[in-house]
């Protein structure tokens, strides 16, 4: 009986380590995705404020920001809700990650 326990202990330890590694990698991926969304939203907001400072109005669309303010949007990865109410009111910008 003790031989079985001695042989099973390294196996249990290895399985536990593999579970912790997979869990850690999953948490890292979730954090990375959230950070990508945050960075894109922040870039769009900064570009909108820069546009307002330079042109006296907020940009009419995300395409305008991409064309004139150098923000690149990976359309295969992100969807953007951009609602410009008025040229002198900060637009609502929300970034969503596309389902894979």
Choose among 91, 88, 90: nearest CA to 56.
88
Residues near 96 by beta carbon (within 8 Å), at least 6 away in sequence: 37, 78, 79, 80, 81
pLDDT at 1: 54
Task: Tell me the domain boundaries of the chain.
Answer: 2-97
C-alpha 73: how far from its chain's center?
Answer: 12
Q: For residues 83 and 92, is the Cβ–Cβ distance under 8 A? A: yes
Q: What is the pLDDT of residues 25-68, one digit of tens each?
A: 999 988 888 899 999 999 999 999 999 999 999 999 999 999 99
pLDDT at 13: 87
Reported pTM: 0.77
Q: For residues 59 and 47, is the Cβ–Cβ distance under 8 A? A: yes
């Amino acid at each position: 009986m003790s031989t079985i326990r001695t042989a099973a202990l390294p196996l249990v330890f290895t399985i536990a380590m593999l579970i912790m590694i997979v869990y850690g990698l999953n948490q890292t991926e979730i954090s990375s995705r959230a950070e990508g969304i945050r960075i894109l939203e922040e870039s769009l907001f900064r570009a909108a404020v820069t546009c307002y400072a330079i042109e006296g109005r907020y940009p009419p669309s995300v395409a305008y920001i991409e064309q004139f303010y150098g923000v690149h949007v990976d359309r295969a990865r992100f969807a953007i809700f951009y609602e410009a109410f008025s040229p002198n009111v900060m637009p609502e910008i929300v970034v969503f990650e596309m389902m894979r």
